[in-house]
Amino acid sequence: MTAGDPVLKSYPCAICNVTDRTLVFRKNGRAIKRSFQIVRCRGCGHHYVDPRVSDEDLGSIYDDAYYRGRGFDTGIDFYSQPSPELLGSIERTIELVASIARRPLETMTWLDYGCGAGTQVLRAAAHGAAAFGYDMGPPARAICAQKGVKVLDDEELAEKAGTFDVVSAVEVIEHVTEPRAFLRTLTQLLKIGGILYVQTGNWNLIRHVPGRPYVMPEGHLQYFTPSTMRRLFATSGLREANVPNPSWIGYKAIDRLSLPAPARDLVALLERTLRVVAPGYAQFPVGIRVD
């Protein structure tokens, strides 16, 4: 670590609060030129970065350079036009939510938490939803303001607690320090019966990818599996929606191969089979607020 780099600290497991862990592998950071440890909690099996950027310094890595893809995640650039792959993923999310709700989006309120450049908000609004965003990053709020995206501030968000039909958090939970509290916050924003859609990398898949590009230890602090997410849902006042939800593998197959409709149906069938025979490799659950 060089002078001026954020301070690194060791923390207990964010899922079960146990401090006993075992080293899985090391990976060098992009923005912080040092080796980070990815560890496995001996209490619950959760994987996370330890030591990590301290709570006090974590905000400093989400600067303007980060939002331009010049930080720890070079795969993003919120100042550029969204990719066809991103737009396709967003459209499938909207289709999935509509299939769960079984009513038109025109009748629904949607909050995208950690909205970034506001693309999810704009697409939900284009389908008729009353759509809002929330993001703590000043660059993200500035980008959204330029696009006319309605981004709620902390006071407005508190006032709207319990009013949303849908809350989405796409590629957000891996960044947070306290995922249990984070999910409870999202749940409390929903109406009873409201839908929570959380998307993140599945550890059971990303750990096998050569080079592990999803492992970005400066900012991707937590790595989840479907079973871990289900346990978190159960303690957050959520039940699992009983609908097929394509996995990361299915999304990539559809996007990269430009599959026609019949082939997409076959992918969906394979996904449903995967959820039965190998649930650890399927996508994460979609939640419904029950209390």
Query: Which of residues 267 and 48 earns the better pLDDT score?
Result: 48
Q: What does the domain layout of the chain look like in residue ranges? A: 85-201+225-289
Asked if the model's pLDDT at residue 56 lies above 70, the reply is yes
- pLDDT at residue 267, rounded to an integer: 66
Do 82 and 119 contact (CB within 8 A), yes or no?
yes
Tell me the mean pLDDT in the region 10-15: 98
Among 156-165, 201-210, 242-251, the minimum mean pLDDT is found in 242-251
User: What sign does the CA torsion over 41, 46, 51, 209 have?
Assistant: positive
**Residue 14: pLDDT over 90:** yes
Q: Does residue 248 carry a pLDDT above 50?
A: no
> Rounded to a whole number, what is the distance in angstroms from the first to the last CA of the chain?
46
11 CB-contact burial (10 Å; exposed 0-12 / middle 13-18 / buried 19+): middle
What number is the average pLDDT over the span 177-181?
98
Question: Is the distance from CB of 274 to CB of 179 less than 8 angstroms?
Answer: no
**pLDDT value for 163:** 98
Could you tell me the pTM of the whole model?
Answer: 0.90
Angle formed at CA 185 by CA 283 and CA 204, multiple of 5 degrees = 25
Residue 173 binned pLDDT confidence (cut-offs 50, 70, 90): very high
Beta strands in 141-272 (DSSP E): 164-170, 190-199, 222-223, 238-240
Cβ-in-10-Å burial (0-12, 13-18, 19+) of 110 comes to buried
Residue of 119, 242, 98 lying closest to 171 (CA atoms): 119
pLDDT of res. 251: 55
Q: Is the pLDDT of residue 85 over 50?
A: yes
Distance from the Cα of residue 30 to its chain's centroid: 21
pLDDT exceeding 90 applies to what percent of the chain?
79
Is residue 169 over pLDDT 70? yes
Helix (H) / strand (E) containing 252: helix 248-257
CB 241 within 8 A of CB 286: yes
Q: Which fold has domain 85-201+225-289?
A: Rossmann fold (3.40.50)
Predicted confidence at residue 264, as pLDDT, reads 61
